[in-house]
Amino acid sequence: MKNTTTLILRNQKYEVKAGMTLLSALKKLEILPESVICVREGELLTEDNMLKDGETIKLVSVISGG
């Protein structure tokens, strides 16, 4: 068993170790937590959510401007 979670940002897939928090995974991938919204099966996730083996998390870029 691989014991990984897949994160997808702009059609790019990243695999991280399951069991860490979403915030830890984003930091490891050098993705600013403020720059993305994280979704699992249509449910919005918070940074303290634990990543589970085999799941896929979609990261949606947040666009802001003036």
Please give the pLDDT value at position 59.
97
- Pick 66 or 17 by higher pLDDT: 17
pLDDT at 64 over 90: no
| Neighbour tally for 32: CB within 10 Å | 9
Confidence bin at 63 (pLDDT 50/70/90)? confident
Pairing of strands 36-40, 43-44: antiparallel
Measured CA to CA, the distance from residue 31 to residue 59 in angstroms comes to 10
CATH superfamily, with its number, for domain 4-61? Beta-grasp domain (3.10.20.30)
